[in-house]
Amino acid sequence: MEQSDQSTRLWGGRFSAGPSPEMVALSLSVHFDWRLAKYDLQGSRAHARVLKAAGLLDDVELDRMLTALDDLEKDVASGSFVGTEADEDVHTALERGLIERLGALGGKLRAGRSRNDQVATDLRLYLRDNVRSIVRELITLQQALLAKAEEYRDVVAPGMTHLQHAQPILFAHQLLAHVHAFARDVDRLRDWDRRAAVSPLGAGALAGSSLALDPVAVAAELGFDRPADNSIDAVSDRDYVAEFLFTAALIGVHLSRIGEEVVLWNTTEFGWVSLHDSWATGSSIMPQKKNPDIGELARGKSGRFVGNLMSLLTTLKALPLAYDRDLQEDKECTFDSVEQLLMLLPAVSGMIATMTVNTDAVSRGAGAGHALATDVAEWLVRQGIPFRDAHEISGAAVAACDERGCELYDLSAADLAAIDSRLTSDVLSVLTVDGALAARSTHGGTAPSSVLAQIDGIKASIAAQRAFIDPA
């Protein structure tokens, strides 16, 4: 790698020699922090106006500088201006581009700010922007699940714990359970944004500036709620990055869970769903294969999101105040989590939106595996029998079914009475899947009436989420 050119560096006055090639290679970040270019230019425009208000630029200089920054942004967007290895980082590259357009005037923009407060500002702007894109994709995924739940609203299914048949549920109820998890992810991101809406610009290297700058005005122009109250904290704080990476990791875990379920449902053994050809892959050797790769990749990438969180937390551990070069390591893990989520979420949404539910296969086992045993026990409780005893009686009925190789609903009134005299013929009224579903009509239950109410609540929740990304 070539040695960095002195004219492009933002430092060097007290150095008699340039950095070694090894130092340059270790310091280089422009190949990944170029993602921050448009945000750095956004901050530069705000900073230029503050310099003008402080009397450090006149009207003509400000106009020339803003025009040059706009032209530079167009060139960055088109790819005609890019950072180079000689630039070291995005901030150096963009100052070079500004000086190429303005000469000495371009150097005035550096007054009153440091790469320390620049990068902290850029990363907040980048994350706040991209979090809204992530929320938009999470809403799309929730809508896909909601639409599928409404389409198959009356389909019964075996609800499972420990992947064993537990109690009958509506299949829609299980799909909607995933919606609630993703809705909480959106809530976390909205709450995160409140804490991330703090502008570090004006903190300088760590102590603020002796120039008559206006951090409040800068914060307002950049869409922040307020400026940072402590300049040391402003340049060293990466809590907002760690919080984002935690939420990204949890989104990854939620995507992994639904990915695992689709993988299971798509097996020959389950046969619950069929994936659209556009959202599955084949085998290079086995012509019959149709693989649920999106579900598998959702599982796999969860480890990547968790790893990015662990990487940052390990970097932050025991860092002394204020800024330390270790913080260069905050960006690649952040960029990766953002970009992976924005790639993965649309794929999972598409897989869900286009899959077909094989209703007969789903419903076939709804009452199997003695899934009505709890209903028997609760019927006994309504007869005044303590649940401890009711549990034992119902368990005895299950044991009798195991001996006979049948299900609870196959037992006759005489069979039930032979097991325990308290199992009168009236118990037959709860030994149906439809009866078991209808009985669970409390808030949040799986009864058709409760699921309808749940659907209405989810629609209201999604409307509120939309207000975050599309404010009136």
Residues annotated as catalytic are 162, 283
CA distance 151 to 455: 12
CA distance 394 to 385: 12
Amino acid (1-letter code) at residue 105: L
Q: Are 451 and 173 in contact (CB under 8 A)?
A: yes
State how beta strands 356-357 and 198-199 pair: unpaired
CA distance 159 to 174: 8
Please classify residue 99 by burial: count the beta carbons closer than 10 Å to its beta carbon, then call 0-12 exposed, 13-18 middle and 19+ buried.
middle
Task: Name the phi and psi angles at 396, rounded to 5.
Answer: -65, -35
Tracing tokens 């201006």 back to the chain, one arrives at: 81
**DSSP sequence for 418-460:** HH-TT--GGGGGG-SHHHHHHH--STT-SSHHHHHHHHHHHHH
CA distance 348 to 261: 12
CA distance 447 to 7: 72
CA distance 301 to 371: 34
CA distance 323 to 320: 8
With b for 16 or more beta-carbon neighbours within 10 A and e for fewer, the 234-247 pattern comes to bbbbbebbbbbbbb
H or E stretch including 159?
A: strand 156-161
Nearest to 423 by CA among 376, 472, 363: 376
Q: 3-state DSSP call for residue 217?
A: helix
Q: Are 10 and 95 in contact (CB under 8 A)?
A: yes
Q: CA angle 442-449-374, nearest 5°?
A: 50
**DSSP sequence for 337-352:** HHHHHHHHHHHHHHHH
Radius of gyration, alpha carbons of the chain = 30
Q: Are 322 and 333 in contact (CB under 8 A)?
A: no
What residues have CB less than 8 Å from 204, skipping those under 6 apart?
A: 112, 113, 114, 116, 117, 231, 235
Nearest to 437 by CA among 31, 158, 146, 89: 158
